[in-house]
């Protein structure tokens, strides 16, 4: 199993709902993919411009296939237009060991 934790920072708080709507579409489609066990979006209670995407994939091959899907290659860049230029998106991968 491969866990993906991505932190995303939105430039303007006023755009948070629009970004969440895009990520809702991405999550809905991603959950239908083979090998996707979890795809959840969290919003920081203290900072609504801070999102965390929590994914769980069967394998790295499943994750790589996900990055080639139409919904990933279209919705991801759309959401990226709202990103904060001063805060880099952080993506971390973890492999389940126990």
Map out the domains of the chain with their CATH numbers: 2-95 (3.30.70.100)
What would the mean pLDDT of 80-86 be, rounded to a whole number?
A: 90
DSSP letters for 64-97: HHHTTSHHHHHHHHHHHTTB-TTS--EEEEEE--
* pLDDT one-digit tens code per residue, 42-61: 999 999 999 999 999 999 99
Instruction: Reduce the DSSP state of residue 18 to 3 states and report it.
Output: helix
Q: What is the mean pLDDT of the chain?
A: 94
What would the mean pLDDT of 2-8 be, rounded to a whole number?
A: 94
> In terms of Cα–Cα distance, which of 13, 23, 73 is closest to 48?
13
pLDDT at 86: 83
| Whole-number Å distance between alpha carbons of 68 and 98 | 29
In the chain, count H helices and then E strands. Answer: 3, 4
Q: Whole-prediction pTM value? A: 0.89
Residue 39 pLDDT more than 80?
Answer: yes
Residue 63 pLDDT more than 80?
Answer: yes
| Whole-number Å distance between alpha carbons of 48 and 14 | 9
């Amino acid at each position: 199993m491969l866990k993906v934790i991505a932190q995303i920072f939105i430039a303007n708080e006023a755009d948070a709902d629009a970004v969440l709507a895009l990520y809702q579409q991405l999550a809905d489609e991603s959950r239908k993919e083979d090998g996707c066990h979890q795809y959840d979006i969290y919003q920081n209670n203290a900072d609504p411009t801070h999102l965390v995407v929590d994914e769980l994939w069967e394998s790295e091959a499943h994750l790589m296939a996900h990055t080639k899907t139409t919904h990933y290659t279209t919705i991801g860049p759309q959401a990226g237009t709202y990103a904060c230029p001063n805060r880099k998106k952080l993506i971390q991968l973890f492999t389940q060991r126990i």
